[in-house]
Structures are given as structure tokens and as C-alpha cells.
Amino acid sequence: MPSTRRAAALALALAAALSLVACTGSPTDAPTGSPEPAAPTGPEPTPSSDPGTTPTPDVTAAAPPVPGSTGTLDVDGRPFELAVPAGYDPDEPAPLLVVLHGFGDDADGVDARLALRDEAGRRGILYALPEGTVDAEGRKFWDAGDACCNWGGADVDDSGYLARLIRTVGETYAVDPERVALVGHSNGGFMAYRAACEHADLVRLAVSVAGAMPADDGACAPSRPVGAIQVHGTDDPVVRYDGGSLGPAAYPSAEDSVAAWSRLDRCDDGPEPRGGPLDLETDVPGAETSVASASGCADGSRVELWTMDGAGHTPALGGTFASAVLDAVAGAGGPPASR
């Protein structure tokens, strides 16, 4: 009940801020020009929960952060940072944004890289920053599918973990279930798509920055339409705009990733150029980003490709990016407002 959440939230003391473990790898998925990661040598990853189902979360008790503060919640022994906007009102369900780091990066890194936190707070959006699993070489990763990036074959179910995280936040705060979004960079972008495919009952929008969909169309079978936005630089040397492979597994191009969502969301037409260009990348002169949108998608879902001409794997994203992404979050993956 909203009144119960209000009483509980105001009675709790502010939790200590999460002390994030610094990653030992590079702040990006891989340095420009580096060789592709070695093929996995361990066993195949354990599949996540059946699509459309969400197990009851195993939650360790923690004092949730109060409005206007940042603290931690814990799911399955994996703490994550949560920022609660100052204007949070338990009588008014808020959007939830979950931000996912790339391979070898961490929550602090993607928080700074995408720069969504401040604007999310101003817009009254709950903002969660989970951490991936640490591999044998000390690098954090998400088990996002065959292409990326569980190279050691660790027995981990990140898709299920993110579903339990979303449920946990929803049981602690008033969350609008129609405005729950995942935004990820690189490995985090692959992971945002996997979680959307397998837990469409919880996720309404997935934004993948320099990630990709599975190469196998059958690997994604959402239980309902989910909004999807692919953001990708044409000069990305790590996860290539035109598709490629990481180790033995291939991934599709940015255009094919969006085409897959157009089919899954039963859109009338594939992505076509709409509206004017956006200036998302601060290191590329001018408005470098063209937007292609699908139309007539089921349940009003939003399917778009944002192509950053001349941008690389880790673009320098400015305030326009934050505004554009959070506009989409506020719209819950529905059709974009007129630009």
C-alpha cells in the first residue's frame, strides 16, 4: 500500500552509500585496436528463468534509502546502489531506470559515462546501479548470451538477478510498472536486451548503447512487446555497427538488431528516418545522430535506431543524450513525442 511505503521510508535511517569495488580491467570493454576476447573454454552458461516468469526474490534485509538520498539494497547477496529522487512520493508511482556497465567496467564507470543520474533525479526517476559478476581475471561481466561476455562459463543467472532486482525495488518503493527501463553500455547493452527478452513482464524499455541482439532470432521470445532503442557509433571497433563476432559467437548489426525488435513487436513498418538529427556525441562536430523509427508497433511500443556517425565504442555523451533517453523512459517505450 502507498501509505505503508511512505511510513516505512520515512522511518528508515539513511543507508551508507555503496562502496564500489574498483574494476581491475580497462574502463571500456576493450581498448581500441586490441584483439578480440578469447573464446570461452568453460561449460555453457546456465540458462536463465523461463521467459515471462520471475522468481520470488531472496532479499537480504537492508535499510532502504529515503527520498533525496542514495543507499544500497541487496538481492541474492549482490548489493546494488539505488538513488531515490528528492521528490519521491509513495502515493505517485515513479519510473525505474536500471543502468548496466560494460565488460571490465563497473557501476561507477557507467554512471559517469552515460551521465544519466542527475537528470533522472530531477525527473523523479528511481535510479539503480547493479554490478556484474567478477571473472577469474578480476573483470566484471554480465552473462548476456552467447556473444558476450561470460568467457569463463561461470554458473550465473544475471537475467534472473535483474528480474529480482526490479521486483525488489517495486516491493520497497512505488514503481510504475509501465515505466521500467534498462539502459546498458556494450556488454550491458547485450544484457539489457536479454533481460527484456526473458522478463518482458517486468521491462517496458531496453536501451542498448553499443550492444546487440542475439544472432539467433529464436533466442528472444518476449511475452509481450517491449520498447527498444539501439544507440550505436558507426566507427565502433569493438562491437561493430555492421555486426561481427566476439570469440566464437556472432552478433548482428545495429540495423538487424532493431529489425529484430520490429518483428518481435509486430510493427507495421521497419525503421525509417524520422525527425531531425540529434547532437549526442560531444567529440563529433554538429548533430551527428540520425534517428530511424518503426511505426505501428504493438501496444504502442517504441523501436528506434540512433546512428551516431563517426562515434566509437565509448562515445562522449552530453546532456542531449540524457534528455533523449529519459524522455523515452518517461514514455515507457511508447511512441516518441514529436521532435
List per-residue pLDDT tens for the chain, 339 residues long: 444 343 333 333 322 222 332 333 333 334 333 333 433 333 333 333 343 444 444 444 558 999 999 999 999 999 999 999 999 999 999 999 999 999 999 999 999 999 999 999 999 999 999 999 999 999 999 999 999 999 999 999 999 999 999 999 999 999 999 999 999 999 999 999 999 999 999 999 999 999 999 999 889 999 999 999 999 999 999 999 999 999 889 999 999 999 999 999 999 999 999 889 999 999 999 999 999 999 999 999 999 999 999 999 999 999 999 999 999 999 865 665 444
Segments making up each domain of the chain, as ranges: 2-14+54-330
First to last CA, the chain: 38
Q: Which of 178, 190, 164 is nearest to 57 (CA)?
A: 164
Q: Which residues of 21-40 are buried (b: 16+ CB within 10 A; e: fewer)?
A: eebebbbbbbeeeeeebeeb
Q: Which of 197, 192, 220 is nearest to 208 (CA)?
A: 192
Whether the model clears a pTM of 0.95, i.e. scores above it, the answer is: no
Packing angle, helices 107-114 and 319-330, rounded to 10: 100
CA distances from 333 to 251, 319, 330 (A): 24, 20, 8
For domain 2-14+54-330, give the fold.
Answer: Rossmann fold (3.40.50)
The residues facing 79 across adjacent strands are: 74
CA distances from 146 to 139, 153, 189, 213, 293 (A): 18, 10, 14, 10, 27
Grid coordinates standing for 261? 525488435
Q: Please report, as a single letter, which amino acid is at residue 64.
A: P
Residues 308, 309, 311, 316, CA torsion sign: negative
